A and B are shown apart, each in its own frame.
Chain A
Amino acid sequence: TQLLEQSPQFLSIQEGENLTVYCNSSSVFSSLQWYRQEPGEGPVLLVTVVTGGEVKKLKRLTFQFGDARKDSSLHITAAQPGDTGLYLCAGPAVRENTDKLIFGTGTRLQVFP
């Protein structure tokens, strides 16, 4: 079974700090998605990365897909309380020749004012 491991599991920081969240696997993924989930809601897509080495920016969020397409990172610059939430990476289980979608274990971010 393909797995996606995220680190750190928890992160508490002050407003204005920078942070990086990692999503790692021993398997190659054809693409990876990043979602953010706020309390009481379902996850919402932030970005999809498709090409090895690809970098995408969404305001203060920078997403990178590893060259070998086995890992991805999310960097947040000058974090704000509104960034608080659970960040999840997800990818299709293509190695298993199925249509399953695999989610990572998640990183719970708390940004204090």
Chain B
Amino acid sequence: EAQVTQNPRYLITVTGKKLTVTCSQNMNHEYMSWYRQDPGLGLRQIYYSMNVEVTDKGDVPEGYKVSRKEKRNFPLILESPSPNQTSLYFCASSLAGQMDIQYFGAGTRLSVL
């Protein structure tokens, strides 16, 4: 089954404790991206990647890191999480770019205390 898998689905952590949210897709997609969703603000793109070893900032990249060492995986790293990073996070992938159909994971709800 074609899918985008995020883990974990729920995470509660404390300020400053490094964490990684994993994202994997099995559709051989080139384009992958991370979003955060906050009430009243819609989805805001954090980082995106056009291909392996190619990543770029979205609209809200501060406090986040990503890597794209393999085509299928695109982990989101919070080196020192802060309470303002409490949010619902989505990973998405598409065949070739931002104009293609975006396939989303089920989301990761993060709370930073």
Contacts and interface: CB of A to CB of B under 8 A. Distances in A.
B45 A101 contact: yes
A30 interface: yes
Interface string B18-33: 0000000000000101
A56 to B, nearest CB: 14
Interface stretch (A14-22, A38-46, A58-66, A72-80): A38-46
Contacts of A90: 43, 102
Interface residues on B, range: 20 to 34
A51 B101 CA distance: 17
Interface string A82-108: 000000101011000011111111100
Interface residues of A, number: 28
A42 B48 contact: no
Nearest to A89: B42
Interface of A: 1, 4, 6, 9, 30-31, 33, 35, 40-45, 48, 88, 90, 92-93, 98-106
